[in-house]
A and B are shown apart, each in its own frame.
Chain A
């Protein structure tokens, strides 16, 4: 057993009523790459923020080589030796400055580092850092002229200048190509050999296979699995992350109606495997897959936000090529987008106004709004979805997250549709709201095709008649939600069977 670099004991963190970390016990070994996996909302990013000093834990202790580590700010964490490279590459570098300035930035920011710049000395120091990292760039070149991979490597080199004990990488390959990622991995191999503890957060199986010494799965604010015996059991790790408590989801699969929407040879992006699928009236289809598997891209194509790179779609037998969201809505295709705060909630509006936004033409005569019709629709939505509020004129911001989500789903249930697409409708909602929303979606599903994008398999099992698995921007599995073979679903989510040739090694 290697040295324990970092030891977390019983870490908890709550935001308001929301317990995000619920007792994390974890050890990170020196000279070891630990991959942390977890679905959205599992608490990964909160855990990282606790480690890098953005948040402080409510209870529990973190020890760094035996010493208590409780940083009150990111800069304190860095000084103590915990360095983080964030997902967005440009957060780690300043594009307008040259490489040398970037590498020396933290040194320059240190109090007492002198008033005047010594450019020569600076460049020399920077070259030393770059050489130590086998980073082959001209240090006088502006970072903005570098490719993404080099920028990422500069960001890491900058981090390494602190001689970290723990290096945290948050989805570092999300914008790198396969060749670029390879360079990053070579660098990480060297760092591992030099004894740095590395915590690597990623969803990409190809990365994980390449780099992981050990996998830790998180789910619902807890560690749900630790896998450190070679060969690593990737499937179990994914299973631990997504979980399937096999709730008795009492799904009555209705008789299929006729096909409402037919997708033929749809390619979601250049080079992805085209797929063909029919969506029928009355059925609720869950589309599941890891982050980056193409779920959101599919939702965008269905709603006319993006055009597919190939193939065609028919709606009720007629070609469907919406040029705008308004056309999609007019054709009866609705999308309830994910990330309600940025994509859906209109903060200045009350509940009734939020619900009516897409359908104001149906609540107005000669462009003049009909207050009564707007408010009665809102009141109906409130009672049907059990939205907890005082009246339909409450500010949307006064509602809890789950109730806001109900309003957003209610917005699109308020009018009849042919195809209703819901992208992560259970994101950031409590179990009660999730049940209410799910019941309402199923209760109104007759006559339309309903498509729900979810990462969590549990959620898919709970709501869908049919579960489609996506991987690498194509459909790799299609199951009826009845005596379903969960192992097969998980295998398809992980993408082993279909990708034995390594086609998902391509960067996204």
Chain B
């Protein structure tokens, strides 16, 4: 109970400084960073630098949107990172070993992502495994599974297969263009495909969550699943849907990563899980939402990207990056849970 309930007839209090800080603090901080780096770091304020930031966060951002979907229904998906790397290895396997075309590779990855999400969802709603544990199990399973077909080696054209054959397939031009093509935007060859995908996926997730009844019901489930169920919502179906969204988006991230790298690199994508979870959680603090939301998630991803790019241009060593990300996350969580009333109510 807060003051308002005691004096329901009082005028709505003017927005206090704290409320303003909660609402716009993070955006202001981001603006401040942009101005600071533009002044201090030479070359920061350029279209190329901006595109670089977008590109560096595109894959993380897409995965983070998947995490957001699961957070909305009060779930959590720890398997996104390994779903993405499995998708990376699967696309390489389809292209290089099975020698199929780009469309087949993309389709196989998307189907795998959806299947992983479906299994996660079924584990959680039917077998009642707690979400963190179910997706943790799936994470281990996928990390192991993606190594089996190649006996733990990376996939590249010319590699020797377990049966002694030499893999002769190649990453087709069409597939590589997903990672390397750049669209013209005022300047030639400026915007990479991954950035376009991020923007499109971001808009789609935002529209779905904010403007459709399905998104509304998913938020209802996240807030009080029993009440949502008694209001006639098929809670299990929406939960499975959320995990499938997460799985598919993770596989999209894996496809883009494979197309950028041009090989099935077994060691890539180690940071994907933590980075995307951080972006989704930082998103809670944007505009004082105190809940998972697509817009906040993208801002969260960009915030980290800007900070890292700026620091890199100021010659901060690479090994400080994770520390910086962690610090940003902790500050954002304080914004969400300690300062905002809604966060405190939970």
Q: Which residues of A contact B (CB under 8 A)?
A: 16-17, 305, 324-326, 328-330, 335, 337, 342-349, 353, 357-358, 360-361, 363-364, 367-369, 388-390, 394-395, 397-400, 403, 411
Query: Would you call B8 and A364 a contact (CB within 8 A)?
Result: no
Q: What's the Cα separation between A398 and B5 when bound, in Å?
A: 5
Contact among B12, B226, B230 for A335, CB-based, below 8 A: B230
Q: What's the Cα separation between A411 and B232 when bound, in Å?
A: 13
B299 to chain A, nearest CB (A): 20
A-chain residues with CB within 8 Å of residue B230 when the two chains form the complex: 305, 325, 335, 337, 343-344
A65 to chain B, nearest CB (A): 39
Q: Does B227 contact A (CB under 8 A)?
A: yes
Jot down 26 A-B pairs with beta carbons below 8 A, ordered by A.
A16-B6, A17-B6, A324-B232, A324-B234, A325-B229, A328-B232, A329-B231, A330-B232, A342-B224, A343-B226, A343-B230, A345-B224, A345-B227, A346-B228, A347-B224, A347-B345, A348-B219, A357-B217, A358-B232, A360-B217, A361-B213, A369-B212, A397-B2, A398-B2, A400-B8, A411-B231
B-chain residues with CB within 8 Å of residue A353 when the two chains form the complex: 216
Q: Does B150 contact A (CB under 8 A)?
A: no
Query: Would you call A368 and B212 a contact (CB within 8 A)?
Result: yes
Q: Does B211 contact A (CB under 8 A)?
A: yes
Query: Would you call B232 and A349 a contact (CB within 8 A)?
Result: no
Contact among A342, A349, A361, A394 for B226, CB-based, below 8 A: A342
Contact among B8, B232, B291 for A326, CB-based, below 8 A: B232
Q: What's the Cα separation between A186 and B5 when bound, in Å?
A: 49
Q: Contact flags (1/0) for B47-73 with A, using CB distance below 8 Å?
A: 000000000000000000000000000
Q: Which residue from chain A places its CB closest to the CB of B221 in the assembled complex? A: A346
A-chain residues with CB within 8 Å of residue B231 when the two chains form the complex: 325, 329, 357-358, 411
A400-B5 CB under 8 A given contacts A325-B230, A368-B211 = yes
B337 to chain A, nearest CB (A): 14
A413 to chain B, nearest CB (A): 14
Q: Which residue from chain A places its CB closest to the CB of B229 in the assembled complex? A: A325
Query: Would you call A369 and B345 a contact (CB within 8 A)?
Result: no
B-chain residues with CB within 8 Å of residue A403 when the two chains form the complex: 8
Q: Which residues of B contact A (CB under 8 A)?
A: 1-2, 4-6, 8-9, 12, 211-214, 216-217, 219-220, 222-224, 226-234, 291, 342, 345-346
A-chain residues with CB within 8 Å of residue B228 when the two chains form the complex: 346, 357
A360-B8 CB under 8 A given contacts A335-B230, A343-B227 = no
A348-B291 CB under 8 A given contacts A326-B234, A357-B231, A398-B2 = yes
Q: Which residue from chain B places its CB closest to the CB of A360 in the assembled complex? A: B213
B-chain residues with CB within 8 Å of residue A344 when the two chains form the complex: 224, 227, 230
Query: Would you call A367 and B212 a contact (CB within 8 A)?
Result: yes
A399-B8 CB under 8 A given contacts A348-B219, A368-B212 = yes
A388-B223 CB under 8 A given contacts A16-B1, A343-B230, A367-B213 = no
Contact among B5, B220, B234, B345 for A349, CB-based, below 8 A: B220
B214 to chain A, nearest CB (A): 6
A-chain residues with CB within 8 Å of residue B234 when the two chains form the complex: 324, 326
> Per DSSP, are chain B's interface residues mostly helix, strand or loop, or mixed?
helix
Q: What's the Cα separation between A368 and B8 when bound, in Å?
A: 33
A-chain residues with CB within 8 Å of residue B233 when the two chains form the complex: 325-326, 357
Q: What's the Cα separation between A337 and B231 when bound, in Å?
A: 10
B323 to chain A, nearest CB (A): 33
The 6 closest A-B pairs by CB, nearest first: A360-B213, A348-B223, A358-B231, A326-B232, A398-B4, A329-B232
A337 to chain B, nearest CB (A): 5
Q: What's the Cα separation between A403 and B4 when bound, in Å?
A: 13
Q: What's the Cα separation between A228 and B346 when bound, in Å?
A: 47
- Once A and B bind, how many residue pairs between them come within 8 Å at the CB atom? 96
B135 to chain A, nearest CB (A): 23
Query: Would you call A364 and B342 a contact (CB within 8 A)?
Result: no
A389-B220 CB under 8 A given contacts A343-B230, A397-B345 = no
B-chain residues with CB within 8 Å of residue A399 when the two chains form the complex: 5, 8
Q: Which residue from chain B places its CB closest to the CB of A370 in the assembled complex? A: B213
Query: Would you call B12 and A367 a contact (CB within 8 A)?
Result: no
A384 to chain B, nearest CB (A): 18
B209 to chain A, nearest CB (A): 11
A-chain residues with CB within 8 Å of residue B1 when the two chains form the complex: 16, 397
Query: Would you call A369 and B216 a contact (CB within 8 A)?
Result: yes
Q: Which residue from chain B places its CB closest to the CB of A347 in the assembled complex? A: B223
Q: What's the Cα separation between A353 and B210 when bound, in Å?
A: 12
B-chain residues with CB within 8 Å of residue A16 when the two chains form the complex: 1, 6
**Extra inter-chain contacts (15) besides given A348-B219, A358-B232, A369-B216, CB under 8 Å:** A324-B232, A325-B230, A335-B230, A343-B226, A344-B227, A348-B222, A357-B220, A360-B216, A361-B213, A364-B213, A367-B212, A368-B213, A394-B4, A397-B2, A400-B5
Q: Which of B2, B12, B213 has the most CB of A within 10 A?
A: B213
A-chain residues with CB within 8 Å of residue B345 when the two chains form the complex: 347, 397
Q: Which residue from chain A places its CB closest to the CB of B222 in the assembled complex? A: A348
A-chain residues with CB within 8 Å of residue B224 when the two chains form the complex: 342, 344-347
B-chain residues with CB within 8 Å of residue A325 when the two chains form the complex: 229-233
Q: What's the Cα separation between A351 and B9 when bound, in Å?
A: 16
Q: What's the Cα separation between A358 and B230 when bound, in Å?
A: 8
B120 to chain A, nearest CB (A): 23
Q: Which of B1, B229, B291 has the most CB of A within 10 A?
A: B1
A364-B229 CB under 8 A given contacts A345-B224, A348-B291, A403-B8 = no
Q: Which residue from chain B places its CB closest to the CB of A358 in the assembled complex? A: B231
Q: What's the Cα separation between A353 and B291 when bound, in Å?
A: 16
A-chain residues with CB within 8 Å of residue B214 when the two chains form the complex: 367
A-chain residues with CB within 8 Å of residue B291 when the two chains form the complex: 348
Q: What's the Cα separation between A329 and B345 when bound, in Å?
A: 31
A-chain residues with CB within 8 Å of residue B220 when the two chains form the complex: 346, 349, 357
Q: What's the Cα separation between A330 and B346 when bound, in Å?
A: 32
A162 to chain B, nearest CB (A): 36
Q: What's the Cα separation between A297 and B231 when bound, in Å?
A: 18
Query: Would you call A364 and B212 a contact (CB within 8 A)?
Result: yes
Q: What's the Cα separation between A325 and B226 when bound, in Å?
A: 12
Query: Would you call B229 and A349 a contact (CB within 8 A)?
Result: no
Q: Which residue from chain A places its CB closest to the CB of B234 in the assembled complex? A: A326
Q: What's the Cα separation between A400 and B1 when bound, in Å?
A: 8
Q: Which of A17, A361, A398, A403 has the most CB of B within 10 A?
A: A398
A258 to chain B, nearest CB (A): 26
Q: Which residue from chain A places its CB closest to the CB of B207 in the assembled complex? A: A368
A136 to chain B, nearest CB (A): 36
B44 to chain A, nearest CB (A): 38
Q: What's the Cα separation between A330 and B216 when bound, in Å?
A: 19
B293 to chain A, nearest CB (A): 11
